[in-house]
Amino acid sequence: MYSFKKYIFNAFFLTTALVQSSILAGQNPIFRQMYTQRYLTNPAMIGNGSIDGNGIGRISSGIKAQWMSLESRLYTQSLSYDAPIRSNNSSWGIGAFMTDLYSGSIEQSKYSHFSGTITYAYNIPLKKMNIKFGLSAQFSSITFGRNNFLWEDQINESMTGFLKPTQEPLSQLTKNVVHASAGALVYGKKGFLGLAVHNVNEPNISFFSNQNQTIQRKFLVHGGMVFDKLFNHATLIPNFAYSKQGNVQSALFSTNVKLDNLQLGMGTQYVKAYENSAWSVTNYLGYRYDKYFIGYSTDWNLSFNFGSIPVIHEFSVLILLNKKEKKSMPNPFPEM
C-alpha cells in the first residue's frame, strides 16, 4: 500500500511540474506570422504600418491551432490595434490574446490564459534610418479546469484510487499577474534589427502563497534585409529570429517574397528545450486586396522524436486603416 501511495504522489507532483513548465512557455505565445502580430514580437514595432510610405493604423487578428493529431487541442487567438500618433513621433497600441487547452474524449478545458496588453513606442528619425523604443504592460489571468486534477485527499482508505471528493480550495486555481516588456528597433528602407525583452519583472505565477514560481525573462533578437526591384518588381526579405527563455531556445530563418499583392514565405526553425531538440519547416501564403490582408501558414515537424505532432496551422487577417501620416515612413517588415 505504501508503495502504491508513493507512486500516486510521485505521479501527481510530476504532473504539477509539467503543467508549470507549460505555463512558462504559454505566457508569451509565438505566432509564426510574427510580423502580423507585432505587439507580441517587439513593443517597438507598433505603429509601423504603412501604405506607399504613409503611416496607417492596423487591426490584426490571428488564430493558431496546435496538436490537432492528438487528443489534446491547443488554440491561441489574438486581436490587436496599433497606429502612429499624428502630433509627434509616438505610437500606441492595444491587444489581447487567449489560449485554451482541450483534451480527453469529451475535450474538457484543462488550461486557459487571457492577456490584455497596452503598448507605447517612440521613434527617433535620422537621415537614413530610424531608432525606436517601446514599452508594454500586460495583465494575465491563468485558470486551470477545476475537475481535471487529482488531489492527495481524494485517495480512498483502501488506497485503490482517487474516489473521494477533494477539500482543496479550488479557487486557488486562478492566478492574475502583471508583467512588462521592452524593445528597441533600428530600421530603414533596406532592413531592420530589433531586440525585445519580455517579462522584465519576472512575476510570480505560483498558485500558492508559500511558493515562488516566476516567469523567466525571454530575450528575442530579430532582423532582416530588403532586396527590391528583383525580377522586375519583386521584393525579397530574408529574415531571422532567435529567442531564449530559461532552458528553451529557438532559432528561425525564413525568406519572404512580395510580388504585387501576393506574398510567399518559407523557412526553417530549430528548437531546443530541456535537452530535447526538434527541426521544423514552415510555409506561408498571403494576399492583399485593397485594405485587407489574409495569411495562412503551416509548420511541419521534421523531428522523429516528436513525429506524432506533425502540423501547426495559423490563419491571420490584417486590416489596413485610413492614412494617418503624409510623411515618408519605411516599412521593411514582412507581414509573415
SS (H, E, C) the chain: CHHHHHHHHHHHHHHHHHHHHHHHHHCCCCCCCCCCCHHHHCHHHCCCCEECCEEEEEEEEEEEEECCCCCCEEEEEEEEEEEECCCCCEEEEEEEEEEEEEECCCCEEEEEEEEEEEEEEEEEECCCCEEEEEEEEEEEEEEECCCCCCCHHHECCCCCCECCCCCCCHHHHEEEEEEEEEEEEEEECCEEEEEEEECCCCCECCCCCCCCCECCCEEEEEEEECEEEECCCEEEEEEEEEEEECCEEEEEEEEEEEECCEEEEEEEEEEEECCEEEEEEEEEEEEEECCEEEEEEEEEECCHHHCCCCEEEEEEEEEEEEECCCCCCCCCCCCC
Q: Which residues have C-beta within 8 Å of that of residue 154, sequence separation ≥ 6?
A: 162, 163, 164, 165, 166
**Mean confidence (pLDDT) of the chain:** 81
| Grid cell at residue 101 | 487547452
Q: What is the Cα–Cα distance from 29 to 304, expressed in whole angstroms?
A: 24
47 found inside a domain: yes
Model confidence at 231: pLDDT above 80: no
> Which domain range does residue 149 map to?
2-156+173-323
329 found inside a domain: no
Split into its structural domains, the chain has a count of: 1
Model confidence at 82: pLDDT above 90: yes
19 found inside a domain: yes
**pLDDT tens track for 251-285:** 999 999 998 889 999 999 999 987 788 889 999 99
| Grid cell at residue 209 | 502563497
331 found inside a domain: no
Residue pair 9/231 in contact (Cβ under 8 Å)? The answer is no
163 found inside a domain: no
Model confidence at 108: pLDDT above 60: no
131 found inside a domain: yes
Q: According to the model, what pLDDT value does residue 161 have? A: 75
333 found inside a domain: no
Rounded mean pLDDT, 106-125: 83
Q: Which has the closest alpha carbon to 226: 215, 236, 241, 211?
A: 236
Q: According to the model, what pLDDT value does residue 16 have? A: 37
pLDDT band, residue 233 (cuts 50/70/90): confident
Q: According to the model, what pLDDT value does residue 65 have? A: 85
User: What is the domain-level CATH number for residue 200?
Assistant: 2.40.160.40
Residue pair 83/49 in contact (Cβ under 8 Å)? The answer is yes
Q: What is the Cα–Cα distance from 198 to 204, expressed in whole angstroms?
A: 14
**pLDDT tens track for 212-226:** 778 899 999 999 999
Model confidence at 196: pLDDT above 50: yes
166 found inside a domain: no
**pLDDT tens track for 123-171:** 999 988 999 999 999 999 888 766 666 667 778 777 777 777 776 665 5
Q: According to the model, what pLDDT value does residue 15 have? A: 37
What percent of the chain is modeled with pLDDT above 90?
A: 43
| Grid cell at residue 301 | 515537424
